[in-house]
Amino acid sequence: MKRAFLSGLSVAALLAASAVPLPAADLVLLGATVHPVSGPEIPDCTLIVEGTTITALGRGLAAPPGAPVLDVAGLHVYPALLDANTVLGLVEVSSVPGTVDISEMGDINPNVRAEVAINPESEILPVTMANGILSAMIAPRGGTIAGTAAVIRLSGWTWEDMTIASPVGLVINWPDMRVQRGPNARPEEEQIEQRDGRLRELRAAFADARAYVQAVGAEGTRGIPVHDRDPRWEAMRPVLDGKIPVLVAADDILQIRAALKFTEEEKLRLVLLANGDVWRVAPELAARHIPVILGPTHELPSRRWEPYDEPFTVAKKLHEAGVRFCFSYGASAFSAAHARNLPYQAAMAAAYGLPKEEALRGVTQYAAEILGVSDRLGTLEPGKEATFIVTDGDPLEIRTQVKRAFMAGREIDLHTRHTRLYEKYHARPRPAANLEPAAAQR
């Protein structure tokens, strides 16, 4: 009897759930100025979404019968911004170790996958989305080979639900090539041995991975046994096959040059995660078609004698040299809470000489291209995913407000912990007008 009753409840629950109508996926936006990024802006534009995809945009288009219409006259529609190097979802409070999950033990961890560690309930994600950043590349940190990165959407129930593409690259933290000198520096011999030891480990890892792939590929040949599968070297297969790049974090000129030499010798695709000195090798990067994911623009110069605005002009110099690049807020634990300020990194570069349209592409189109997701994100075109923002102005301007946001055709809630606290304390009880302070009553 109890089993039958429970079974009846389950069926009733399923019927009730199926009776709830799902919101219509189709949507028409009318009257906004649409900025496709891949082409000129379109004033008084009609943008049509069917399911998760943009199917048409242009002036004077007829809305499909019965489709919900959203009048956004006087507003602007842009592709959602994409932060190309973060630890969003892997960090909550950088000073609380229990909320930081960006690295693993050991120096060689190619099998680490950033996306499986996402916390979908992170309070940082809605705050970031509220400023127009709806997707990001998340990358592990720590060690020499940190693991593989993934492109995620910043809203979803689970990590599987949030993942857009994985893996998109293998993260390598290049060792410091310089020997530090000074009263507090470690002995030079110790620094050199540590550096050379990390480089030996790196080369050995790639040699072992190649040997493993060769051995596994020979299985089935007479006399060749079946080998045990090693998750570390399996994770490096896409890198060795050229399907995904190595994402090398290197800022100093010596690090960058060493990384360029290593990847050329190993015949690897390279994307630099760099700032600082990267502009100094711009001609070589352009000649080899190596893209760059820039770190924060709001930085101090690398050296005391360099001009104060050198970090602000790195993007301009790369652009002038013909190097493909995009912007990020950086993948440190501290930077996650500030990823919402990504558009202002691009804006600073524009203020110091980078063409404004290039700055916008650096947080949309170019980011999607470098990360291999440009078939879905980065521009507004028929066939692309309907992931975009509606604003009252230029998203690179700090005064601009994001009015609405859509992710794969669905509108997302832009309420955050910030807005909830504002509303809570804005509505707090007020003291009576004739109530004197306690000190006055005494």
List own/partner pairs for 305-309 with CB under 8 A and 24 or more apart: 309/352
Q: What confidence score (pLDDT) does residue 232 get?
A: 94
Q: Among residues of the chain, what percentage have pLDDT more than 90?
A: 75
CA distances from 428 to 408, 425, 431 (A): 37, 5, 10
Tokens 């949309």, residue located: 364
Mean pLDDT of 161-177: 95
Is it the case that residue 311 has pLDDT exceeding 50?
Answer: yes
SS3 86: strand
Q: Which has the higher per-residue pLDDT, 356 or 187?
A: 356
State if pTM tops 0.85. yes
Q: How many CB atoms lie within 10 A of CB 278?
A: 26
Is it the case that residue 308 has pLDDT exceeding 80?
Answer: yes
SS3 209: helix
State pLDDT tens for residues 121-165. 999 999 999 999 999 999 999 899 999 999 999 999 999 999 999
Q: What confidence score (pLDDT) does residue 439 get?
A: 58
Residue 243 burial class via C-beta count within 10 angstroms: exposed 0-12, middle 13-18, buried 19 and up: exposed
SS3 225: coil
Tell me how far the alpha carbon of residue 212 is from its chain's centroid.
Answer: 31
Q: What confidence score (pLDDT) does residue 306 get?
A: 92
Closest CA to 169 of 189, 148, 154: 148
Q: DSSP labels for 281-316? A: GHHHHHHHT--EEE--SS---SSTTS-TTHHHHHHH
Is it the case that residue 17 has pLDDT exceeding 80?
Answer: no
Q: What confidence score (pLDDT) does residue 217 get?
A: 83
Closest CA to 318 of 377, 376, 276: 276
pLDDT class for 442, splitting at 50, 70, 90?
low
E-assigned strand segments in 130-243: 133-138, 145-153, 163-173
Q: What confidence score (pLDDT) does residue 226 get?
A: 74
Mean pLDDT of 259-263: 96
Is it the case that residue 94 has pLDDT exceeding 50?
Answer: yes
Is it the case that residue 8 has pLDDT exceeding 50?
Answer: no
Please name each of the domains of the chain with its CATH number: 22-80+378-427 (2.30.40.10), 87-375 (3.20.20.140)
Q: DSSP labels for 33-58? A: EE--SSS--EEEEEEEEETTEEEEEE
Q: Strands 163-173 and 246-249: what pairing?
A: parallel
State pLDDT tens for residues 317-333. 999 999 999 999 988 88
Average pLDDT, whole number, for the chain?
Answer: 89
Mean pLDDT of 239-259: 95
- H or E element that contains 115: none
